Amino acid sequence: MELAEKIIRLKKARNAVILAHNYQIPDVQDIADYVGDSLGLSMQASRTKADVIVFCGVYFMAETAKILSPDKIVLIPDRKAGCPMADMITAEDLRRLKAGHRGAKTLCYVNTTAEVKAECDVCCTSGNAERIVRGAFNKDEEIIFAPDQYLAQYISKKVGREFIMWKGYCPTHLKILPEDIDRERRLHHVAEIIVHPECRSSVTDMADEVLSTEGMYRYVTETDGKEFIIGTETGILHRLRKANPDKMFYPLCERAVCPNMKLTTLEKVLWSLEDMKDEVIVPEETIAKARKSLEIMLNH
């Protein structure tokens, strides 16, 4: 029996759902019940009727699923799949920053650990950050925005508001450079350039569109344009091409590969379901606190 077939059988037997991020390898995306961005995956996790969630992504995403569905068993096929950006700020770091800015509200990108989420007032993803800043805070409130300095800078320009920022970044998106835009524009001059807000500001400033991964999927699927240069982790190209066989997609930068996102394989998904491992555990007290900031996000 093929690996994929074994996974499907076992998934039914365990009443499991497989959630996969847009950066997962093609085989894993193809076996998933739902493929999406951090926001879409959080929404799926909060609504699922399954008993088990197999989370194919990075650890903070699986933790988010556990926080939103504490009664479910959440499995991660490779627990070493971390996110270096999420590890750039600890709960202690955030407590210290808050102590230096009494009265400020805290907005955390979903790329944070459960302990950090437990310390913040509101969460956001790259797909809803602008809406959350506009809708969840008063105009005169000071906002600490952590940990991604580039997402914070991009949203700051959009909403015309200063933030107290943490200097975190995504090492994968930082590999995308302005010179990549110059080169790809010369090669494909009719193509639209779409980049992720985790890219450095000199890159987002040059792009035609700045969108979350799901925003990219929606945009290229709905627009009449036929050629796109995609400035994010290259794993998303599989989904874009599969859904739009009549359109052309070029990676803005071949170096933009997140090694952690590539740790999940079909074999590991199968083993995870066979052995019910590794289970993602978050202490109840952390869940209770972190859930508040995620719920504010999901209710906006």
Residues of this chain that interact with ligand 13P (CB under 6 A) are 22, 37-38, 111, 125-127, 170, 198, 212-213
56 contacts ligand SF4 (rule: CB under 6 A): no
| Helix (H/G/I), strand (E/B), else coil: 121 | coil
Q: Please provide the distance, in angstroms rounded to a whole number, between the alpha carbons at the two ends of the chain.
A: 45
Q: How many CA atoms lie within 13 A of 98 on its CB side?
A: 17
CA angle 36, 105, 159 (to 5 degrees): 65
Give the one residue of 37, 214, 233, 278 binding ligand SF4; rule: CB under 6 A: 233
Spatial CA neighbour of 189 closest among 254, 250, 240: 250
Q: How far is the CB of 140 from ligand 13P (least distance, A)?
A: 29
Give the one residue of 44, 69, 111, 264 binding ligand SF4; rule: CB under 6 A: 111
Cβ nearer to ligand SF4, comparing 235 with 290: 235
Cβ nearer to ligand 13P, comparing 7 with 89: 89
Within residues 78-97, the interface with ligand SF4 by CB under 6 A covers 83-85
Cβ nearer to ligand SF4, comparing 44 with 111: 111
Q: How far is the CB of 145 from ligand 13P (least distance, A)?
A: 16
Binds 37: which of ligand SF4, ligand 13P, none (CB < 5-8 Å by kind): ligand 13P
Binds 24: which of ligand 13P, ligand SF4, none (CB < 5-8 Å by kind): none
Question: Which run of H or of E encompasses 108?
Answer: strand 105-109
* Residue 169, C-beta contacts closer than 8 angstroms, at least 6 positions apart: 85, 88, 148, 149, 150, 198, 200
Binds 272: which of ligand SF4, ligand 13P, none (CB < 5-8 Å by kind): none
Give the one residue of 54, 129, 170, 282 binding ligand SF4; rule: CB under 6 A: 170
172 contacts ligand SF4 (rule: CB under 6 A): yes
Residue 148: C-alpha distances to residues 92, 103, 254 (Å) = 17, 21, 22
Strand partners, 247: none
For residues 57 and 81, the answer to whether their CB atoms sit within 8 Å is: yes
